Structure 1
Amino acid sequence: MVRNLRMSGIGLIGDLPWGTHLCSFYQTKQDLLNMIIPYFKAGLESNEFCVWVVSDPLNEQKAMEVAQSAIPNFAYYLASGQMEIVPYTKWYYRNGELYLSNLISEWTQITEKAISRGFDGLRGAGYCAWVEQKDWESFIEYEAAVNNMIGQLPAILLCYFDLLRSKGSDVIDVVNSHQFALVNRNSEWEMIETFQHKMTEQALRDSEEKFRVLSETAACGFCIIENDKITYANLAAEKVTGYSRDELLNMTFWELIHPEHRQFYKKGATVGNNAEKQEVKIITRESQVKWDILSFGSVVIKGKQVVLGTFYDITERKIAEEITQQQLYRVQKMEV
């Protein structure tokens, strides 16, 4: 099963899956720029909606100037609304009051709006050293809630802190409320992965391996469908349809369905609820008509909702049923 990986722009960590929540601790302004500019450049070039929440020493004006000079076509991204640079006072505060609890649901709304505008997902980053000690506990609770929620979203969020201004206990709090951390010491970046994230990643790898073994040994066809496009097909799907896996990955699923039954596919695969099993006709690569039992289920894979379609060839059974019915008809006719 393919995990939806995105270019991070940060050499140390490479590609990241949707649903990533990371933090970083920098020492100098240049260290910060060497990380944050490639991070946003990669997101903009990958058709992601980007939000940069800023504060001194890199305020809104300075961030705009740096990005303009370092990211090609930045003026276009800004003018088209793909990139927003927002001061922390307008993001984390409303009417002078800290606004954290409602921000959690707002991340979901912002991501959904980005998708509706045609973007692949959301990429965000924010400077968080402005938090006062009296608000620290609430802020860490907010970060932990975001960490628990983000796995359901096509989003990547990065929080960055000034290492020289951070207490040891604060660093521990921040790392524990993120999946992993990047720490810059003496101009060298290091990665710290939390135990919880390691366990989650291992569980995900185990789950993906189980799915792979199950799907590749199953007698029925498996297809993962995203926006009607087939993004995964198992060996049985090749055998049933006659198409190679590469051919299937360049098709929409409805192309396999016989015109008489495409309405079932469109109804069953585009709604959020699971569809009941149906007997439908499909068309193979050789234009042969086959009968299949077809069902769809809506599942979330790495924060992205997709459709899992399963189908099983029942052509021989349908032929046998037809022969039996013909024989029964002849017998009934003779009796009359």
Structure 2
Amino acid sequence: MEKTHRKIGITGIDNLTWGSHLCHFIEKKEDLFDLLISYFRNGLLENEYCLWIMPDFTKKDEINELFDKNIENYSYYISKKQIDLYSFSEWFLKDGIFEKDIYVDKFFQKYQYTLENNFDGLRYAGFINNKFYEDALAYEYFIDNFTLDRKMITICSYSTNNIFFDKILNIVNDHKIWIAKENDNLKIFNPPHIKNLEAKLKYTEAKYKNLLSNIECGVIIVKAIDNADNFIVKFINKNAVNALDISKDNFLEKDIYSLFTDNFIVESTKENLKKLYEEDIIESNSGKIKYKFSFGTKEYCFEKLISDEIAILIKEIPEYKKKELEITADLKKKDTFLKETHHRLKNDFQVLLSLLRLQAKEIGTKESNEIFEKIQNRIKIMASVHEKLYKSMDFYKIDFYDYLNDIIYQLSENYVDKMKKIKLNIEVERIFLDSTFGIYCGLIINELITNSFKYAFRDDQDGEISINFLKKDQKEYLLSIKDTGKGLPTYFDIENTNSFGLKIVKILVRQLEGKLEILNNEGLEFKICFPSKG
């Protein structure tokens, strides 16, 4: 990334490059205001997007009034949406708990906003409440890496009240520069300058191991040896030792898979380590962990550190997450039961069809055979839906386009001779219908096309049958069946018809809560509009 120098506006620091991360210690809120007014003034002048996470002891109105007095054209920057102010609780907490997943997502969103609005970069300042010191270590680790690889400059502010010296040292270790007042004068401190590369590496390793040892979740750092199949343990903290019920000393420099006793954990860990090792990127664009799995009450997450080192985080699944997993498992059981139900129904329909065929053969008259054939067609329509649902990933909706093609194929087998003279025109959108609606529409199409085949055309007459099904808008479907045959007699009244098939159509239209329109002109058209119910 290009290292552009930026005006910081802090006495003793002329310019800083993108990726700089500073620490600021204060005794009273005036110390905070004195530094950040100039810091943000320069950021606004440099066309940077400015973001301040303020301490809860300040108010937005107070800060806006202060900035308006001390930053020229501040109202212009507000109208341009170039600066945002949030309280510590508003940004970091959820129900009083410091939530990493929430603030990580927010930082990614704000940086994306910076890029999309053509600002030169992001200038950020955040105040961390000492009460959340343990959480602050993980936050500092994140914000240091987040700032380093972006057009961003960060200042993290802490109060020196009620905080022990060793904690101050831990905070300082994560910053390029730290700032504090001494006898009312601003002092700039630099970290120890270590010239020897080996000593530098040891210093860095010790710093991060200290951080990881204090983190709440279990942490294991593994290193790949030669390829993606072999990983050894380089670091493991006490929470990981407790989670896995092992002895820490026995596993350092040993094969990672020897830590786990369950085969599912071993295989899932192998799969995730291999995938992450083979990826080029170290950090995901979303800020969310990409590779993870759950087992029992724990979640195993995988994050790439450097090209051959990966961190495995072992977290206790929160109660709400456990409930979510239980619900998911319960839904899976219900889906399995539903799939089996559709399968049984399909088989029951097949048995019913076989019985009807036997009964038709036993009676043997032409009239009875026609009746049984119609009944069989109706049963096949319903059986086809359950067969599609059984084979589908969605056990509640059917692809109506595929379903209609099955109906047409089934009818064409019954009217082979007619099909030689009659052309079928099908115009159907790919719509997924509720299974009940699908059955109703399938039965309507079956009745109306059967009527067209049987009564609309003379045996030697050519003709066309058109089927259209579309979604008129978000609230309504339109089904149209039209033929170019002789049409209905002028005296025909559907309310008083003796046709059993048309009576079925009327009943099904009511079930769909639809409206039926019959157009008896240059053939016959049935138009049915019915509401969409999701």
TM-score normalized by the length of structure 1: 0.54
Mark the runs of 5 or more structure 1 residues left unpaired by the alignment.
204-336
Q: Deviations over 1:66-109 (max 9, x none)?
A: 11111111111112210101111111113443122453354233
- 1:181 aligns with one of 175, 178, 183: 178
Separation in structure 2 between the aligned mates of residue 144 and residue 152 of structure 1, nearest angstrom:
13
Q: Which residue in 2 is equivalent to 1:43?
A: 43
Q: Is the 8 A contact 2:18 2:153 kept in 1?
A: yes
Q: Deviations over 1:195-241 (max 9, x none)?
A: 489899xx9xxxxxxxxxxxxxxxxxxxxxxxxxxxxxxxxxxxxxx
Q: Secondary structure at the match of 2:10?
A: coil
Q: Is the 8 A contact 1:53 1:126 kept in 2?
A: yes
Q: Is the 8 A contact 2:56 2:89 kept in 1?
A: no
Q: Which has the higher contact order (CA 8 A, sep 6+)?
A: 1
Separation in structure 1 between the aligned mates of residue 120 and residue 194 of structure 2, nearest angstrom:
24
What amino acid is aligned across from residue 139 of structure 1 in structure 2? A
Check if 1:120 corresponds to 2:120: yes
Check if 1:192 corresponds to 2:204: no
Residue pairs, 1:56-205, within 5 angstroms: 56-104=56-104, 106-128=106-128, 130-132=129-131, 135-195=132-192
Report % sequence identity: 26
Q: Secondary structure at the match of 1:137?
A: helix
Q: Is the 8 A contact 2:56 2:88 kept in 1?
A: no
Q: Is the 8 A contact 1:111 1:154 kept in 2?
A: no
Q: Is the 8 A contact 2:56 2:87 kept in 1?
A: no
Q: Deviations over 1:240-264 (max 9, x none)?
A: xxxxxxxxxxxxxxxxxxxxxxxxx
* The structure with more radius of gyration: 2
Separation in structure 1 between the aligned mates of residue 107 and residue 21 of structure 2, nearest angstrom:
12
Task: Report the more deviating stretch, 22-31 or 176-185.
Answer: 22-31
Q: Secondary structure at the match of 1:164?
A: coil
Q: Which residue in 2 is equivalent to 1:252?
A: none
Separation in structure 2 between the aligned mates of residue 199 and residue 154 of structure 1, nearest angstrom:
29
Q: Is the 8 A contact 2:130 2:159 kept in 1?
A: no
What amino acid is aligned across from residue 18 of structure 2 in structure 1? W
Task: Report the more deviating stretch, 97-106 or 35-44.
Answer: 97-106
Q: 1:184 to 1:75 in 2, by over 3 A?
A: same
Q: Is the 8 A contact 1:6 1:16 kept in 2?
A: yes
CA RMSD of aligned residues (A): 2.5
Separation in structure 1 between the aligned mates of residue 6 and residue 194 of structure 2, nearest angstrom:
18
What amino acid is aligned across from residue 84 of structure 1 in structure 2? D
Q: Is the 8 A contact 2:25 2:158 kept in 1?
A: yes
Q: Deviations over 1:259-318 (max 9, x none)?
A: xxxxxxxxxxxxxxxxxxxxxxxxxxxxxxxxxxxxxxxxxxxxxxxxxxxxxxxxxxxx
Q: Which residue in 1 is equivalent to 2:321?
A: none
Separation in structure 2 between the aligned mates of residue 73 and residue 39 of structure 1, nearest angstrom:
16
Shift of 1:188: 1.3
Report the count of equivalent residues: 198
TM-score normalized by the length of structure 2: 0.35
Shift of 1:187: 0.8
Shift of 1:62: 1.6
Q: Deviations over 1:1-31 (max 9, x none)?
A: 9731111010211111101111111233333
Shift of 1:57: 3.7
Q: Is the 8 A contact 2:98 2:135 kept in 1?
A: no
Q: Deviations over 1:13-57 (max 9, x none)?
A: 111110111111123333322211000000001000001111244
What amino acid is aligned across from residue 79 of structure 1 in structure 2? S
Separation in structure 1 between the aligned mates of residue 194 and residue 152 of structure 2, nearest angstrom:
17
Q: Is the 8 A contact 1:108 1:153 kept in 2?
A: no
Residue pairs, 1:1-336, within 5 angstroms: 3-104=3-104, 106-128=106-128, 130-132=129-131, 135-195=132-192
Q: Which residue in 2 is equivalent to 1:314?
A: none
